[in-house]
Structures are given as structure tokens and as C-alpha cells.
């Protein structure tokens, strides 16, 4: 796969590393970048091939993503703005709908849409020097790529209101303490640590991983009884699989399982 604003690498079996590659503008998203991310994840939704885990990061150590490219937006008509924003809406929905686990490796600043991009991933590893912010209200707009929904689900309603309504930046340490970030990493090590976790995920049975992700994500949006029904439906998907038989066989034979996604 080739994209104008993304670098795609395969750092290990079944792992895809996606790098926002606009370091000269702090990896800010212009229309092309939003389209590239949307196209990539819509493609993974249709056919993930042998990919079992995705890592999303930014080029360099300065920024993960500074949000929307405001220079591109200068002088935009209302109609053009709305058309462009639809790209970002579809982009986030494509990430949220991705059945493959997605890890955000936040190597630097994640502001505005960049923060929302990280929140759309399944979980976040962040460099210790990384900073986050949803600054939209300081620009006469508001978060519109899932921020008002994903942030309170991560840090709670009251904390999310404070973050969004003030527009003030916060540190990776604060994000970790509030439950938004899963792990703090030393400078220059965030992609490496995300890759280590991605390899663990990729070693597991891919159908099991996808069904577990599905049950967690949608179950959290249901009442408990409905979520329990969803879980057992997801569980029963594994019973007739070759991977389930391989998992039990490998345990009893005291060897590493060889999962095929079947």
C-alpha cells in the first residue's frame, strides 16, 4: 500500500506500523491525510489480510498529530469546510469500526483532531514528553471527530468537560493518571513498546482477539444483560474453529500454538 501522507511498514509478522508522515507541519492532517487514513482503515475493515494488529504513530519526536491543518482551512467557505470535515468523520468511524486492534503510539503533541485520532484507537501508549489537548473551543468550533464522546468514556464526564471547555493542554502523566493513556514510555521508546505489545496480540488467535474486541466495544454500550448475550454469541463463534482446537492441542502438547485465523 502506498499513500501520499502515510508511511506503512511491517516491523513484525502480522503487525502493521502506520506513521503519519508530515513532520514539517507537526503531522497535521490536511484533506489528503484524512483521506489516506480513511482509505487505509476502510480497506482493513473490508479485508485485513494477515494483519492482526495495527500501530498508529507520527513521524519524528515533536508531534503525533497537531490536529487539522489550519493553513489549508484558511479562507475555506462554509461548504468547503463541511465537505472536508466529512472526511475526518468517516476517518474516525473507519478506525472505530476496525475489527483489528489498533494501538496509538503517541510520540509527541496530540492536539485537537490528533487527540481525537488517538482516542479512536483501542488504547494509547504515550511518550513521557507527549502533551494532549482538545483546543477547538479556542478556535470557535468544538470537537467533531468523536472527542466529546470518546474522552468522557476514557476519563469520565466531569474531567472531560473541564478538558474540552477550557481547551487547556495536559501532560502524558496526567492522561495516564486519568485512565486515558495505558502506558508511559521513555522518549524515543513509545513505538518500540507498542510493537512489543502488538507482537503479543498478533501471537494470539486472531478470531478470538477480534471477537473479544467486538464484545468489549459494543457491550460497553449496552445494559449488562444484553452485553452478556452479546458476549456468549461472540464466544460461540470460536467453538467450531480450527484455532480453538489448535489452542487446546498445543497446551496439551506443551508447544507454542500455530494460529491460522480459521
Under 8 Å between Cβ of 48 and 231 = no
Cβ 195 vs Cβ 54: under 8 Å: no
Q: Which of 42, 89, 136, 231 is catalytic?
A: 136
Label the pairing between strands 15-20 and 53-58: parallel
Q: Which domains, and CATH codes, for the chain? A: 6-202 (3.90.226.10), 204-252 (1.10.12.10)
27-45 per-position pLDDT tens digit: 999 999 999 999 999 999 9
Supply angle C-alpha 208, 210, 212, rounded to 5.
65
Q: Please say if the pLDDT value at position 1 is more than 80.
A: no
Q: What is the CB-side half-sphere exposure of residue 226 using CA atoms within 13 A?
A: 6
* Count of CA atoms in the C-beta half-sphere (13 A) of 106: 35
pTM of structure: 0.93
Of 116, 192, 231, 233, which residue is the catalytic one?
116
8 to 1, 21, 55, 193: CA distances (angstroms): 7, 10, 10, 18
pLDDT band at 61 (very low <50, low <70, confident <90, very high): confident
In tens, the pLDDT along 86-131 reads 999 999 999 999 999 999 999 999 999 999 999 999 999 999 999 9
- Averaged pLDDT for residues 213-242: 96
- Is 116 annotated in the active site? yes
- Which residues are CB-contacts of 37 (< 8 A; sequence separation ≥ 6)? 6, 18, 20, 29, 91, 94, 95, 117
Amino acid at each position: 500500500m502506498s499513500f501520499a501522507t502515510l508511511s506503512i511498514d511491517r516491523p513484525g509478522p502480522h503487525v502493521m506500523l502506520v506513521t503519519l508522515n508530515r513532520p514539517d507541519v507537526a503531522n497535521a492532517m490536511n484533506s489528503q491525510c484524512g483521506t489516506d487514513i480513511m482509505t487505509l482503515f476502510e480497506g482493513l475493515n473490508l479485508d485485513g489480510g494477515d494483519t492482526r494488529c495495527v500501530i498508529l504513530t507520527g513521524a519524528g519526536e515533536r508531534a503525533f498529530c497537531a490536529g487539522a491543518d489550519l493553513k489549508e482551512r484558511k479562507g475555506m467557505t462554509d461548504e468547503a469546510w463541511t465537505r472536508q470535515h466529512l472526511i475526518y468523520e468517516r476517518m474516525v468511524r473507519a478506525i472505530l469500526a476496525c475489527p483489528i486492534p489498533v494501538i496509538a503510539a503517541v510520540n509527541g503533541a496530540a492536539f485537537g483532531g490528533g487527540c481525537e485520532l488517538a482516542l479512536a484507537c483501542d488504547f494509547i501508549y504515550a511518550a513521557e514528553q507527549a502533551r494532549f489537548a482538545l483546543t477547538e473551543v479556542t478556535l470557535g468550533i468544538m470537537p467533531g471527530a468523536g472527542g466529546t464522546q470518546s474522552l468522557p468514556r476514557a476519563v469520565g464526564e466531569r474531567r472531560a468537560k473541564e478538558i474540552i471547555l477550557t481547551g487547556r493542554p495536559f501532560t502524558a502523566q496526567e492522561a495516564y493518571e486519568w485512565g486515558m493513556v495505558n502506558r508511559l514510555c521513555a522518549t524515543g521508546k513509545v513505538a518500540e513498546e507498542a510493537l512489543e505489545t502488538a507482537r503479543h496480540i498478533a501471537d494470539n488467535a486472531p478470531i478470538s482477539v477480534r471477537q473479544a474486541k467486538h464484545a468489549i466495544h459494543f457491550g460497553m454500550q449496552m445494559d449488562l444483560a444484553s452485553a452478556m448475550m452479546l458476549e456468549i454469541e461472540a464466544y460461540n463463534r470460536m467453538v467450531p474453529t480450527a484455532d480453538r482446537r489448535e489452542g487446546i492441542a498445543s497446551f496439551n502438547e506443551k508447544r507454542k500454538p500455530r494460529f491460522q485465523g480459521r
